[in-house]
Amino acid sequence: MHDQAQFNSKNLKKTNYKNLSCPNCKSKEIIKWGKRKTENRGRVQRYRCKSCYETFILDPFYRMRDNPQKITCALDLFYRGLSTREIQEHFKAFFPHNADHSTILRWIRKFSLKIAEFTDKLKVKTGSYVEVDELEFQRRKSYKKKAGTDKNWFIDVIDVKTRFMVSSGYVKHRSKDEIKKILLKVKEKTDNVKIVTTDGLTAYENVVKKTFGYSNKEGKYKIEHRVVTASKGEGFNIWIERLHNTIRQRTKGFRGFHGSLESAFALMKGLEIYYNFIKKHEALKGKTPSDVAISGLQLKSNNRWLELIKLSTQSI
Ligand SMILES: [Zn+2]
């Protein structure tokens, strides 16, 4: 039942319970402490903290009434284009107890963020050239119509060679700080980015170069910042434009965009994961961008959502 997800990576240490820390006191002194029976998933490993004697289980689905198949099915259907209400209807026909659409939305947010804890740390083998672009979003502040809307932005950084979305963020203003945070992740995850292309937004000025730093040895900044100006007929890669059109289409039905900034952030994080790890691309000969850009990560099962959730739980 509880099969260990296979994970061979040069970038990450082999998963080992000795790398775990206690959820109660953060101590690293952890020992195995028998197995525990669960209703849906057979026996799962239990651990014990030698400092505070707390026992705990690293099962992301622990105490959830619905099983992992159903939950990951919801994520998959959602990012392939169904609304949470459509998923609710679908489940009604196939599962004994129905899940409400608000529960489904909660699963999607929870597990998108959970997987991101793991995927955000993976090293990515990119080409030397990435493009940064922004999409504008109108987020309704709540379900009530009177609450008004907020103009927000989705910013993504895409490696042109592998099509991997190296970093993204759903942000309020496109401020220098917000942009820096997104670019810092690119710096952490990649080694050979040499050129960063952005549009003419002034917030990018200096921030791009400063984030990647200055090389005293070479006497210049480590990154070349290129700016494209649409009015001059310049543009981004055509497939990036196409990707953004797809994102626009897909996010029209995101009900989580009626609510907090955090909720929208989590849904867009899931979209990043779907795009990088789940969706197969014709241009990549039926592979996902992660298959191409993260050679150490070999996802083996057909249910990649579940495999990623398991990996994210084991890599704490
Ligand atoms: Zn402890």
**Domain co-membership, 137 together with 56:** no
* pLDDT tens readout for residues 188-203: 999 999 999 999 999 9
Residues 29 and 147 placed together within one structural domain of the fold: no
Query: Ligand 1 centre and the CA of 28: distance in Å?
Result: 8
Tokens of 64: 């959830």
What pLDDT does 225 receive?
95
138 plus 258 within the same structural domain = yes
Whether the pLDDT of residue 175 is over 80: the answer is: yes
In the reported structure, the alpha carbon of residue 34 is separated from the centroid of ligand 1 by a whole-number distance in angstroms of 17
What CATH number does the domain containing 280 carry? 3.30.420.10
Ligand 1 center to 58 CA (angstroms)? 14
Distance 56 CA to ligand 1 centre (A): 9
Is 296 a residue whose pLDDT tops 80? Answer: yes
State the total domains in the chain: 2
* 176/37 same-domain check: no
pLDDT, tens digit, 9 for 90 and up, residues 88-109: 999 999 888 788 999 999 999 9
* Coil vs helix vs strand at 87: helix
**Is beta strand 220-221 parallel, antiparallel or unpaired with respect to 165-171?**
unpaired
Looking at the fold, whether 32 and 134 belong to one and the same domain comes out as no
The last residue of a domain, from among 8, 42, 62: 62
Domain that holds residue 197: 129-291
Report yes or no on 266 lying in a domain: yes
* pLDDT score for 18: 61
Calculate how far, in angstroms, residue 33's C-alpha sits from the geometric centre of ligand 1: 13
Q: Taking a C-beta distance cutoff of 8 angstroms, is the pair 50, 31 a contact?
A: yes
**In a shared domain, residues 145 and 48:** no
Within a domain: 114: no
Res 57 pLDDT > 60:
yes
Mean pLDDT of 177-184: 96
Q: Which of 106, 205, 199 is nearest to 153 (CA)?
A: 199
Q: What is the largest CA-CA distance in the chain?
A: 66
Contact 65, 85 (CB under 8 A): no
Give me ligand 1 centre to Cα 21, in Å.
8
CA distance 315 to 241: 34
Q: Looking at the structure, do residues 172 and 267 belong to the same domain, yes or no?
A: yes
> Sorting pLDDT into bands at 50, 70 and 90, what band is 6?
very low
Average pLDDT along the chain: 86
In contact, 27 and 21? CB cutoff 8 Å: yes
In a domain, 81, yes or no: no
**Is residue 197 situated within a structural domain?**
yes
Q: Are 149 and 137 in contact (CB under 8 A)?
A: no
pLDDT score at 40: 60
**Domain membership flag for residue 104:** no
Among residues 255, 3, 275, the alpha carbon closest in space to that of 157 is found at: 275
- Confidence at residue 96, expressed as pLDDT on a 0 to 100 scale: 80
Domain shared by 36 and 133, yes or no: no
In a domain, 168, yes or no: yes
102-106, 160-164, 189-193, 231-235: segment of lowest average pLDDT: 231-235
The token pair at 102 is 């608000």
| Cα–Cα distance for residue pair 103/106, rounded to 1 Å | 5
* Assigned domain for 315 exists: no
Residues 146 and 282 in one domain: yes
Question: What is the model's pLDDT at position 227?
Answer: 93
Residue 135 lies in a domain: yes
- Indicate whether 144 and 284 sit together in one domain: yes
